[in-house]
Amino acid sequence: MATQRKGRRSFALIDPPVITAWANVAGKKESEGPLRGTFDVTSNDSYFGQKTWEQAERHMQELALEALINKAKIQKADIGLVLSGDLLNQCIGSSFTLRNTDIPHLGLYGACSTMAESLLLAAMTVGGGYFENAVAMTSSHFASSERQYRFPLGYGGQRTPTAQWTVTGAGAALVSEKGKGPRITACTVGTVTDLGIKDANNMGAAMAPAALSTIRAHFEDLKVNADDFDLIITGDLGQHGKDVLLTLAQREGLSLGGKIADCGCMVFDNLKQDVHAGGSGCGCSAITLCGELLNKLQRGKLKKILFCGTGALLSPTSSQQNLPISGVCHAVAITGG
């Protein structure tokens, strides 16, 4: 397969890798939301039958990988490489999932941009001929995230209007050299963009500048514009971050052509489900892409999307040290199968 560098941050895949299968796992709240019916596995038990929420998150990745293998009609031993990461400290959701599976694994950390980062690296890996196929995977869990980043749930802290609700879910996509399915045609790697936001309850605002920077770079590097896409889908700015993105784009004169949608605004009914500004977490864009979006690309209901994974680069330690929150956004252009 050939590739072609495009501009500073982008590359096109001349012989585009194919997303031959995808699978997702979602929690109770997610399976009651607007995307119900697009999930392969759901559970009403926030522990997914495990002893702790962290182990529940690991188990969701296991279930996503299992569902993916079944849908792709392959064996575990047929998987070339798994590229995955999550929000838990030291990415234990991902590493414990791969434990003793004998599947080659590279661990990633891209905060909530991880689904896009893993997909981009899977495209690179397969496009470069290093592995015949690669799985891009990630997860998040509301309860494990809350107690790690904010407060223990039992504390019952109030949430601000700009706060987002971490999605409980996992998604996995199989990227292959050959086969049928949506194809990855080009990618743009993110840069770490920081406009000085310090409010850990307003991560949408922290990520919006990175999203704008990456969308602009993709347009310029690939010589495309909003008209070339059915959807430019960020994941996940939430309602406030999406508003910031639209305002910034207008101010800077970048036409987004009314094509912006955000996974954080699709996964829940923000008002009825009381999630304030919308969904977040690695699992948010993962379950939206590895269900709703890829299904629609497969069925021809979408022809081409720009999937823009956005991540807020902070930790509880950096917040305690009064440091700002940087954002990053990686973009993957996907055309229908």
Interface with a second copy (CB under 8 A):
2-5, 8-9, 11, 51-52, 54-55, 81, 85, 87-92, 95-96, 98-111, 117, 120-121, 124-125, 127-132, 148, 189-194, 313-318, 321, 323, 326, 328, 330
> What's the closest the beta carbon of residue 2 comes to a second copy, in angstroms?
8
Distance of CA 11 to the CA centre of its chain: 20
> What's the closest the beta carbon of residue 292 comes to a second copy, in angstroms?
26
> What's the closest the beta carbon of residue 49 comes to a second copy, in angstroms?
15
> What's the closest the beta carbon of residue 44 comes to a second copy, in angstroms?
23
Do the beta carbons of residue 56 and residue 48 sit within 8 Å? yes
- Tokens encoding 222: 């690939």
Say how many residues make up the chain. Answer: 337
Residue 6 to residue 272: CA distance in whole angstroms: 44
Residue nearer to a second copy on the CB measure, 273 or 319: 319
Going by C-alpha positions, the residue among 331, 324, 287, 291 that lies closest to residue 307 is: 331
Kindly report the three-state secondary structure assignment for every residue of 297-324: HHCCCCCEEEEEEEEEECCHHHHHCCCC
Residue nearer to a second copy on the CB measure, 225 or 315: 315
Residue nearer to a second copy on the CB measure, 187 or 245: 187
Query: Tell me, what amino acid is at 79?
Result: I
> What's the closest the beta carbon of residue 50 comes to a second copy, in angstroms?
10
Residues 6+ apart with CB under 8 A from 192: 210, 313, 326, 327, 328
Residues 6+ apart with CB under 8 A from 230: 259, 302, 303, 304, 305
> What's the closest the beta carbon of residue 298 comes to a second copy, in angstroms?
27
Residue nearer to a second copy on the CB measure, 143 or 297: 143
Residue 108 to residue 314: CA distance in whole angstroms: 15
Residue nearer to a second copy on the CB measure, 130 or 257: 130
Residue nearer to a second copy on the CB measure, 52 or 70: 52
